[in-house]
Structure 1
Amino acid sequence: MTIHVVPTEFANVQAAIDAAVAGDSIQILAGTFDGFNVNKERLKVFGCGIGKTIIAGAPAMGGDDGIVVSADQTILKGFTVQGFKEEFDSDGVEVNSNNNILVNIESKFNSDEGFEIDGENNLIINCIASFNGTEGFDLDTEHHCIINCNSSQNGDQGFEITGDFNKVINNTGEKNATIGFEIGVNIFNTLFGNKSIKNKGNGIELSPESSNNNIIDNFICNNEGNGITLLVEDDFVSIQNVIDSNIVRNNGIDDTTAGILVEDGSLENVIRFNKAKNNIVVDIEAEGGIGTNTYDGNKCENSLPDGLCT
C-alpha cells in the first residue's frame, strides 16, 4: 500500500488517484483543491478535517459534482466540499458505487444535493449538509446506513429516503425549507433516534404507498407542518408502518396540522407508545376514524376522534 500526498507529491487529487492502484491511500493536506472522481477500488482518500481540507473550484472529472465515488470500497474522510454550482445541478458528494464509507465530511452551498447516495450498502457517519439547493441527504437506493449526521437549512428536505431497507439512526434534520425526514414510495426503512426540529414542513413524512417502515424513538419538535404524517393519495396508501415511542411536541402553525396525522385510507399501521403534547390543533388525528390501524398506549392531551390517548 502506498500513500500519495497532495499537494506535495501531486498537485491535485485527481492526479494522485490516477497514479494510485487499488488499496492505496490519498492524503490531502490543508488547503483548497478541485473536485475529483474516485474511479479505482479500495482507495482511502482523507484530509486534515472539516474546514481545513476544502474541496471547491473545478468539479469532478466528467461531471458537475464536487466529489464522485464511482468505485467500490472507497473510504472518504475529513474534509469540506462546498460551492459546486455548475448549471445549478451540482451535488457536493455523489456516490454511485457500493460498500463505501464516508466519515466526517461537510457538504455545503452546493446548487443541488449535499450528498446523493446511490449504489448499495454505503455507510455515512458524522457528516454535515447545510445550505444546499435541494436535499441535504438523498438516499436513492437500498441497504444504506446513515448515522450521527446533521442536515440543516437546505432548500428542500433534510433527509430524503427514496430507497428500501435503509437505516437512518441518530441524525438531526433542522430548519430545512420543507420536510425534515421523508420516506418515499419505499419499504422496510428504519428511522431510529433522530431529531426533526424547526423544519418548514412536516417533521417526518411517509409518502403514499410506503409500507413496513419503522419510525421509532425519534424527537419531532417545532416543525411548521405535522409532526409525523402518513399520507394517502388516490389509490395509494401508507400501509403496515410502525410509529412507536416517538416524542412529538409543538408542531403545526394552523388548524390543518396535527402532531401525528394518519390520513383517511391508511391501512394496518401501528401507532403506539408515542408522547405527543402541545401540537396545533390536535396531538393525534386519525382522519376518517381508526379503520384498520392500531392505536395503543399513546400519551397525549387530545385526539380526533377521542380515545387515541391514554
Structure 2
Amino acid sequence: MAIHVVPTDFPTVQGAIDDVGTVAGDSIQILAGTFDGFNVSKERLKIFGCGIGKTIIAGNPSPVTNDGISVNANQTILKGFSVQGFVNDGIEVNTDNNILVDIESKFNSDEGYEIDGENNLIINCLASFNDSDGFDLDTEHHCIINCNSSQNGDEGFEISGDFNKVIKNISTKNDTDGFDIDGDSSNTLFGNKAIKNFGEGIELNPESSNNNIIDNFICNNEGSGITLRVLDEFVSMQNVIDSNIVRNNGTDDTTAGILVEDSAIENIIRFNKAKNNIVNDIVAQGGIGTNVYDGNKCENSFPDGLCT
C-alpha cells in the first residue's frame, strides 16, 4: 500500500487513481489548491484533502459524468475538501460501503450529494446553494450523521429509499422541505433540526410507512412542522411521531404544527411538544380514526382533545 500525493507525485487526482495498481488499499493525499473532478474506479481507496475550503474540487468534471466526483468502486473513503460549481451533482455515489466525512458540496446545478448503492455513511458534511436537494438518499441502508444542509433549491434532505438512519442533522432555509420522506418505509429521523425552511419541516409523502420520527426540533418553517400526506388510495400509515418539539410553524389555514391528512391510518402521534403553530398545533383532518394521539403537550388542536 502507498500514499500518492497530488500535485507532487501526480498533477491530477484522476492520474493518481489511474496509477493505483491491482492491490486495493492505497491512499491519495490532495494538497491545498484547486483541482479537477475525478472518478473513483479502484476499490478501497482513501482520498483525503487538507480540509474544507483548502482543498477545492472545482475544475473539469469527472471523466465519466458531469458530476464533480463520481464514486464507482466500493469501500471508498473521501475526506476533507470542498466540491463546487459543477453542472450536475457535486458528488454522486453509485456503490456500497463508502464513507464521506468532512466534505462541503456547494453551488452545484443539481444535488449536493446523490447517494445510491447501499450501506454508505455520510458524516460531518455540508451542502449549500445547490440548485436541487442538498442530500438525496436514493436507496437503502444509508446513515447520515451531523450534516448541515442550507439554502438549497429543493429539499434539504430527500430520503427516497428504505431503512435509512438520519441522525442529528440540521436543515435550514431550503426552498422546499427540510426533510422529505418520499413514500418509503422503515427510515429513522432522530435528533434533527428543521428550521426556517420554505416548505414543511418534515414531510412524509403518500405510501410512507413504518418510519420513526423521534426527538426532532422543528421550528419556524413556512409549511407545517410535520405532515403525513395522503393522495387518493396512497396513504401514510404505521409511522411513529414521538417526542418532537414543534414550534412556530405554518402561515395559513392549510398548515399546522403536526398535520395528519384525512385517511392516514394506524399512525402513532405521542409525547410531542407543540406551541404557537398556525392554525393549530395538531390537526387530524379526518378525525382520530385509527391513529393514536397520546401525551401531546400543545395549546390547541382540531378536533379538540388531542392535547394534554
**Corresponding residue number in structure 1 for 2:217:** 219
1:7 matched residue in structure 2:
7
Q: Secondary structure at the match of 2:62?
A: coil
Could you tell me how far 1:62 is from its partner in structure 2?
A: 1.4
Give structure 2 stretches of 5+ with no counterpart. Answer: none
Distance across 2 between alignment mates of 1:297 and 1:241: 16
| Match among 127, 145, 148 for residue 146 of structure 2 | 148
Matched residue, 1:78: 80
Match of 2:184 in 1: 186
Q: Separation in 1 of the partners of 2:305 and 2:59?
A: 58
Partner AA of 1:199 in structure 2: N
Q: Does 1:54 align with 2:56?
A: yes
* Letter in structure 2 aligned against 1:273: F
Q: Which segments of structure 1 move beyond 4 Å, counting only runs of 4 or more?
A: none
Provide the rounded CA distance (Å) in 1 between the counterparts of 2:191 and 2:165.
Answer: 11
Per-residue CA deviations over 1:76-100 (Å, capped at 9, x if unaligned) read 0000000002xxxx00000000000
Q: What TM-score comes out, normalization by structure 1 length? A: 0.98
Residue aligning to 1:24: 26
Equivalent pair of 2:64/2:70 in contact (CA under 8 Å): no
- Cα deviation for residue 61 of structure 1 reads 1.0
Name the CA distance, whole Å, in 2 between partners of 1:131 and 1:18: 32
Separation (CA, whole Å) in 2 of partners of 1:137 and 1:61: 22
Contact 2:107 2:129 in 1 (8 A): yes
| 2:53 alignment partner, SS class | coil
Per the alignment, residue 308 of structure 1 pairs with: 306
In structure 1, how many angstroms separate the alpha carbons of the residues matched to 2:48 and 2:81?
A: 7
After superposition, the C-alpha distances for 1:175-205 in whole angstroms (9 at most, x for unaligned) are 0000000001111000000000000000000
Q: Which amino acid aligns with 2:142?
A: H
CA RMSD of aligned residues (A): 0.4
Q: Secondary structure at the match of 2:246?
A: strand
CA distance in 2, matches of 1:253, 1:206: 19
1:202 maps to what in 2? 200
In 2, Cα distance between the equivalents of 1:207 and 1:45?
Answer: 37
| CA distance in 1: counterparts of 2:143 and 2:49, whole angstroms | 22
Paired with 2:106 and 2:203, the residues of 1 have a C-alpha distance of 24
Percentage of pairs with the same residue: 79
Confirm or deny that 1:177 pairs with 2:175. yes
Helix, strand or coil for the counterpart of 2:70?
Answer: strand
Partners of 2:76 and 2:65 lie apart in 1 by 19
Contact 2:150 2:171 in 1 (8 A): yes
Q: CA–CA distance in 2 between the matches of 1:63 and 1:299?
A: 50
* Stretches of structure 1 lacking an aligned partner (at least 5 in a row): none
Cα shift at 1:45: 0.2
How much has 1:233 moved relative to structure 2?
0.2
Correspondence for 1:35: 37
Tell me the alpha carbon deviations over residues 56-81 of structure 1, each in whole angstroms, 9 at most, x when there is no partner: 01000111000011000000000000
For residue 58 of structure 1, give the secondary structure of its aligned residue in structure 2: coil
